[in-house]
């Protein structure tokens, strides 16, 4: 009797242990499984955020129809078939490898894998494992594949990638392209902390290409602090003219009140900055912007500024501008 009970207990122990152990495919890391394919494609799936959906080559945020990666929308892609627009998860990633290096990362949401396929399918992996692997690609490799790997991490469910994207953005030993991708997606996250982080990051960066990415990402935040930062940068004569022009352009494209932009013009002394301001005014479709351009064209003591203002006024179809230009011609 004791022997029978002991055998039963041992059998139960073996069954429980087998249930608790990960399957072979799970126990083996994604990296080691991908490494088995030195040349070719590898595909995997993982849980995606519930606020995104996909269709063909597009991925939309908040089901608004606004694509956040590739803008080509159709019901067929190279790797995934779709029945509807727009379909919820999972996230699907296809890696293209050459000589063991990830050269391309294509990301999808929803749909179903196309068959037959020349890709090695490693199945469904956990979102955390997928993010760990993809960020490893971003940190190890350079070029297009590394940047695309960063985007793929932003699709994962219940994984906060912000601190690790920030680490990539701060790492000056990485390529500007990879750092720029990290900064871009930090900006798109629009979390409570992302604006503060990006504004602090700008002070530590030496590359103007990367600074450009930070300025754009800050402009996407949409909050008053970010608007003020852009205006301050545009007004800072200690900054390079190119970065000031970028900040001014994106301040004009954001929700910065025109009264603030218009008030800056009289304080600008540099010719390049004045011309950039005139261009920014021309992109604002509001009566106050036209009023400012007409004032410059008529009263600015700088002949070149008057000429630039007249040029941009000439692109307008507003009836007030037509009357204004006719008056100048008939003088």
72-81: long-range pairs with CB below 8 Å, 24+: 77/108, 77/111, 78/106, 78/114, 79/43, 79/106, 79/108, 79/113, 79/114, 79/117, 79/119, 80/54, 80/56, 80/108, 80/110, 80/111, 80/112, 80/113, 80/114, 81/111, 81/112, 81/113, 81/114
What proportion of the chain, given as a percentage, has pLDDT over 70?
86
Residue 302 has which token pair?
Answer: 């700088």
| Average pLDDT of the chain to the nearest whole number | 84
Using 50, 70 and 90 to split pLDDT, how confident is the model at 27?
very low
pLDDT band at 2 (very low <50, low <70, confident <90, very high): very low
Between 87 and 212, the more confident residue is 212
pLDDT for 264-302, tens place per residue? 998 888 999 999 999 999 999 889 999 999 999 999 999
- The β-bridge relationship of strands 40-46 and 119-124 is parallel
Can you read off the two tokens belonging to residue 271?
A: 């010719």
**In percent, how much of the chain has pLDDT > 90?**
50
The mean pLDDT value for 289-316 works out to: 92
HSE (CB half, 13 Å, CA atoms) of 274? 19
pTM of the model: 0.75
Q: Is the per-residue pLDDT at 120 higher than 70?
A: yes
Name which of 117-131, 149-163, 183-197, 250-264 the model is least confident about: 183-197
Instruction: Report whether pLDDT(13) > 70.
Output: no
Q: What is the pLDDT of residue 6?
A: 46
Asked whether the predicted pLDDT for residue 246 surpasses 50, the reply is yes
| pLDDT-based confidence at residue 28 (cuts at 50, 70, 90) | low
pLDDT at 331: 67
The pLDDT tens digits of the residues spanning 149-182 come to: 999 999 999 988 888 888 899 888 888 888 999 9
The stretch 211-220 carries a mean pLDDT of 93
pLDDT at 60: 83
What is the tens place of the pLDDT at every residue in 33-75? 999 999 999 999 999 998 888 988 788 876 444 444 444 555 5
- pLDDT given at position 62: 60
Instruction: Assess whether pLDDT exceeds 80 at residue 189.
Output: no
Task: Return the minimum-mean-pLDDT range out of 10-14, 70-74, 141-145, 222-226.
Answer: 10-14
pLDDT at 190: 67
E strands in 47-150? 52-55, 58-61, 80-81, 91-98, 101-109, 112-113, 119-124
Q: What is the mean pLDDT of residues 209-220?
A: 93
> Rounded to an integer, what distance in angstroms lies between the CA atom of residue 160 and that of residue 157?
9
Three-state secondary structure call for residue 113: strand
- Predicted local confidence at residue 171, as pLDDT: 87
pLDDT score at 103: 92
């Amino acid at each position: 009797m004791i022997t029978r009970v002991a055998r039963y207990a041992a059998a139960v122990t073996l069954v429980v242990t087998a249930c608790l152990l990960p399957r072979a495919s799970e126990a083996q890391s994604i990296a080691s499984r991908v490494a088995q394919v030195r040349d070719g494609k590898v595909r995997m799936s993982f849980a995606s955020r519930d606020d995104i959906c996909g269709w063909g080559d597009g991925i939309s945020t908040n089901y608004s129809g606004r694509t956040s990666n590739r803008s080509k929308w159709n019901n067929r892609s190279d790797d995934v078939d779709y029945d509807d627009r727009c379909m919820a998860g999972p996230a699907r990633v296809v890696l293209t490898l050459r000589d063991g290096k990830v050269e391309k990362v294509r990301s999808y949401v929803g749909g179903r894998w196309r068959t037959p396929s020349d890709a090695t399918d490693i199945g469904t992996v956990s979102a955390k494992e997928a993010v760990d692997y993809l960020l490893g690609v971003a940190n190890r490799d350079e070029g297009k594949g590394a940047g695309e790997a960063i985007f793929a991490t932003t699709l994962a469910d219940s994984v906060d990638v912000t601190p690790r994207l920030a680490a990539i953005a701060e790492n000056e030993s990485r390529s500007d392209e990879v750092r720029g991708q990290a900064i871009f997606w930090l900006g798109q996250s629009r979390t409570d902390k992302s604006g503060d982080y990006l504004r602090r990051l700008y002070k530590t960066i030496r590359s103007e290409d990367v600074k450009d990415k930070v300025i754009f990402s800050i402009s996407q935040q949409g909050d008053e602090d970010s608007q003020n930062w852009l205006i301050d940068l545009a007004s800072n004569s200690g900054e390079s003219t190119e970065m000031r022009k970028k900040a001014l352009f994106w301040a004009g494209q954001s929700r910065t009140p025109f009264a603030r932009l218009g008030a800056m013009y009289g304080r600008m002394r540099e010719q390049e900055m004045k011309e950039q301001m005139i261009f920014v005014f021309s992109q604002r479709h509001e009566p106050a912007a036209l009023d400012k351009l007409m004032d410059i064209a008529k009263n600015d003591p700088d002949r070149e500024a008057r000429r630039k203002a007249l040029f941009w006024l000439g692109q307008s179809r507003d009836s007030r501008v037509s009357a204004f230009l006719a008056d100048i011609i008939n003088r």
